[in-house]
A and B are shown apart, each in its own frame.
Chain A
Amino acid sequence: MAIKFSMQLRKHQHFLMAMPALVWMVMFFLLPVLIVGGLSFMSRGIGGIPELPLTLEHYQRIFSVFNGIFARSVWIAILSTIICLLAAYPLAFYISTRHRSITRNTILFLVILPFWTNFLVRIYAWRILLGREGPLNGFLMYIGVLQEPIQLLNTEFAVVLGLVYGYLPFMVLPIYASVERLDWRLVEVARDLGAKDWSVFWRVIFPLTLPGIIAGCILVFVPTIGAYVTPDMLGGTEGIMIGNLIQRQYSGTGNLPLGAALSMMMMAVVLIALMVYARWGHEEG
């Protein structure tokens, strides 16, 4: 009996080892998400508490009332991703083309260290910088671009800036990895065959580093679309995003089913982005 039991145990040992993770993930991740999915179809009761009957009202509201905020969040996320890409590509390229490894490692360290420091602290630093009497306004006035301070904080601009700042390393690292892996003989071949700089870049280097670019874009887009802290700290009422809207549904006079529906919609946007990534990844890879 005991032997039989231990044989059973051996046969299923891998499953047993995966058990704790399975239980934890189902209980504290999958089940909560499914519950929110269910709640998003329920009516709003007294005090925002979900109740029956089932309804599509919240999704309809997202497409009518909150269309603006939703579209703006997607726009802010796309804009931040593009700016990150434009800033990160030259930097990643520069790092990976340094000859000495100490130079490469030092610059990489300089890129990664801010990313390891507390996110709140870094966003807070921008609150100082962007203030009406803050260093940035002072500098712009000093060099004569501005005559008097302008409103920088609590704008959409500040949100995009904060998001780019927060997620830039996510873009630099995958691009760096793909430039690092680049087979430079191909570049040389293209050059020998008479390709100009421009076409060498667009027809050889760019396609070869595309996997890194796409990975970086996903890594930036996903957290920016769901951003909550950055717009809350830098955006004021001007730069509100879906994340803030969701948070409001959970406080005071909120509407829980609406918050649930918003979460579901946000997840849908992320999953669509991932599906695009999966498709492209296969085509290019």
Chain B
Amino acid sequence: MANTLNPKASYLPRKQTESVSVPIARPRLSLRQSLGEWSLASLSAFVLAFLWIPILVLVVFSFNDSRTVNEWRGFTTIWYFNIFNGVTTGEARFATELMLSALKNSVFVSVTATIISTVIGTMVALSFARGQFIGKRFLQGLLFFPLVIPEITQGVSLAMFFVIAFNFINTLTGNRPNFGFETIIAGHVAFNISYVAVVVGARFSYMNPHLEEAAADLGANEWQTFWRVTFPQLVPGILAGGLLAFTLSLDDYVVTFFNSGIGTTTLPVFVYGMLKTSVTPEINAISTLMLVASTILIVISLAFQRRTA
């Protein structure tokens, strides 16, 4: 094992070759070196296969013409058809309306949480980069914690907090608030702010401070400097942070589950419930569709980053 980790001469220093303008012929590998290279390559292929085989199996089985999931019985698209039309007869039961309303809830929660956390996160990143103020270190520490505290602790603590807060409000006003979209969004924003602040903050370190000074020298006031010079440079970071927040929020199960109320089922909560109760082939089809959706999302974001970079 460890031997395959060994660096061989064949890993030629890329940085060096790039700095030399004349291309150097690649040195011929000795038998031992090519053996090391070969074992490294096959190990990597093995790990990549490990990452991809489950996904491929899922996609393949979503076209399997069999109610029992495990055996290949020929090609069908019936499960995709069922997702869009619903099956309510016999033992096959799949409620499209429920899934669609869960999807709608998911999109609503993620979009709202993303907007709030992107605005708040960008503001706090700006204040960290540009100013000194009382409590700065405290806030920096506080923002670091959601990145490292297990999700279950966050979800459960927040739920406890809401129970106590709601009891308190109840004794004060006689009106008891309930878990709902607000509680879910509060939780999502609480972990998203940290991620947005990190991503936007990283963008600051790429910025050229002289541009702002130049703008000021040329007579722009602070407001103009910010909107015309600073902000446009920050946009890729803000978009990247927002996209990350959206993905995390859309994918979240744990925090959502503990803080959701009646009628606020999001897609992950819905899918989880299905996975725990009944395994139907439609789940494979939904999973495949979710996979395709996230692939499209990541390709778009990569293309976007490439253009703005």
Interface residues of A (CB under 8 A from B): 12-15, 17-18, 20-22, 24-26, 28-33, 35-36, 39, 86-91, 93-95, 97, 99, 107, 109-114, 116-122, 124-129, 131, 133-135, 165, 168, 184-185, 187-188, 191, 197-198, 200-201, 205, 218, 222-223, 225-229, 233, 243, 246-247, 250, 256, 259-260, 263, 266-267, 270, 274
Contacts and interface: CB of A to CB of B under 8 A. Distances in A.
A187 B13 contact: yes
Given A15-B133, A116-B247, A168-B47, A184 B13 contact: yes
Q: What 6 pairs across the A-B complex have the smallest Cβ distances? A: A226-B150, A14-B131, A184-B13, A125-B54, A32-B161, A32-B157
Nearest to B162: A32
B58 A222 contact: no
A24 B156 contact: no
Q: How large is the interface on B (under 10, 10 to 19, 20 to 34, 35 or more residues)?
A: 35 or more
A135 B60 CA distance: 12
A175 B1 CA distance: 18
B102 interface: no
B11 interface: yes
A131 B150 contact: no
Contact of A165 (B12, B50, B295): B50
Nearest to A244: B152
Given A31-B161, A94-B41, A134-B70, 5 more contacts: A20-B119, A21-B197, A228-B152, A250-B156, A263-B157
B307 interface: no
B16 A243 contact: no
B100 interface: no
Contacts of B294: 116-118
B146 A29 contact: yes
Interface majority SS (helix, strand, loop, mixed), chain B = helix
Contacts of B120: 20-21, 24
B142 A116 contact: no
A201 B164 CA distance: 56
Contact of A12 (B47, B133, B186): B133
Interface stretch (B78-86, B88-96, B208-216, B283-291): B283-291
A25 B161 contact: no
Given A32-B160, A120-B271, A125-B54, A24 B151 contact: no
Contacts of B71: 133
A250 B159 contact: yes
Given A120-B253, A260-B160, A90 B43 contact: yes
Contact of A88 (B47, B275, B298): B47
Contacts of B197: 21
B143 interface: yes
A41 B152 CA distance: 19
